[in-house]
Amino acid sequence: MDFAVAPPTPSRTAPPAPVGPEPWAPPELRLVCLDIDDTLIDCTAAIRVSLHALTGRSDLWPLWDLITEEHVALVVAGKLGYDVMHHRRTECFLAELGISADSAQVTAFEARRRDILATSWQLFDDVLPCLEWLRAAGLLLAAVTNASGAHQRRKIADLGLAPFFDHVAIAGEIGVAKPDPVMFHSVCLGLGCDPAQTVHVGDKLDTDAIGAYDAGLGAVWLDRDGTGRTGERAPAGVHTVTTLDELPELLVSEYATVGVPVQRAAGTPAAQLRGSVL
Ligand SMILES: [Mg+2]
């Protein structure tokens, strides 16, 4: 018995094309944005190394982190540029240690710190497998990072990350910073993707995950510590992973269109079946 269906005749009226996305269609994912510092690159470890090398002490990371948070907040608020912030942060750090340093000494300390950092950066172990999966899945990738331009581009290049990215958005270059929605939307616009087709992944709950969610993107908080540094908890709508190894499964479960497109060759059984009924 032949179940083949005859092709439609020209006289048949085609059904009207649906307007807009079908309401039952799963969300489409085209673009994944990734934070850099402490998401892909273990910056905390590198900074600890640099502080120990410069001061001989291993207990100064919390002080440095606190001062950094305060100064980065001024950058995010548009009150300081990155270059000035870096100088003032080091000046404040030395002052907290009771070290009186003039401007030249602060500059020298900061330069030495950067030299040590440049030899200490390392990727987390889960980064390359995740990036390779995302590329193999046919997704666009963007780096979206709050940092100064030259410093961050050097870091991205030195660690071999540049070839993975279709776009690199650095706050110090474009004049806005996460969580400003403009930062996220500029990346979507640059790559021709709707925010609803985009997911952002980062280690900061406020600037990365909640910022992305408020901008209309899918939001993933990478909580490598498992509990949040200050006991933070992700609000509804923000997904949490503790390693990038969990990201592919999360994306597949939330976005049914993620995956390597299946190209059926003309001679395969599936293609023959399709040809007999269409
Ligand atoms: Mg980060």
State pLDDT tens for residues 117-143.
Answer: 989 999 999 999 999 999 999 999 999
Residues with CB under 5 A from ligand 1 (ion): 35, 37-38, 203
Residue 208 Cα, ligand 1 centroid: separation in angstroms? Answer: 8
At 198-243, the pLDDT tens digits run: 999 999 999 999 999 999 999 999 999 887 666 778 899 999 999 9
| Residues 138 and 197 occupy one common structural domain | yes
| Residues 165 and 37 occupy one common structural domain | yes
Does 242 fall in a domain? Answer: yes
Query: Is residue 188's pLDDT more than 60?
Result: yes
Residue 112 Cα, ligand 1 centroid: separation in angstroms? Answer: 23
Look at residue 265 in the predicted model and tell me its pLDDT: 47
What is the pTM (predicted TM-score) of this model? 0.79
Q: In the chain, how many domains are there?
A: 2
Positive or negative: CA dihedral 129, 133, 134, 135: positive
Higher pLDDT, 6 or 223: 223
Residue 169's CATH number: 3.40.50.1000
Does 25 fall in a domain? Answer: no
Look at residue 275 in the predicted model and tell me its pLDDT: 39
Residue 122 Cα, ligand 1 centroid: separation in angstroms? Answer: 14
Does 8 fall in a domain? Answer: no
| Residues 145 and 112 occupy one common structural domain | no
Residue 192 Cα, ligand 1 centroid: separation in angstroms? Answer: 25
At 55-87, the pLDDT tens digits run: 999 999 999 999 998 998 888 788 888 889 999
| Domain region containing 67 | 43-118
Alpha-carbon span 142 to 35, nearest angstrom: 9
Higher pLDDT, 224 or 149: 224
| Residues 238 and 205 occupy one common structural domain | yes
End of a domain among 88, 118, 148?
A: 118
End of a domain among 118, 139, 157?
A: 118
Q: Are residues 272 and 4 in contact, defined by beta-carbon separation less than 8 angstroms?
A: no
What torsion do the CA atoms of 226, 228, 231, 237 make, to the nearest 10 degrees?
A: -90
Q: What share of the chain in percent tops pLDDT 70?
A: 81
Residue 81: Cβ within 10 Å count = 13
Look at residue 75 in the predicted model and tell me its pLDDT: 85
* 3-state SS, residue 239: strand
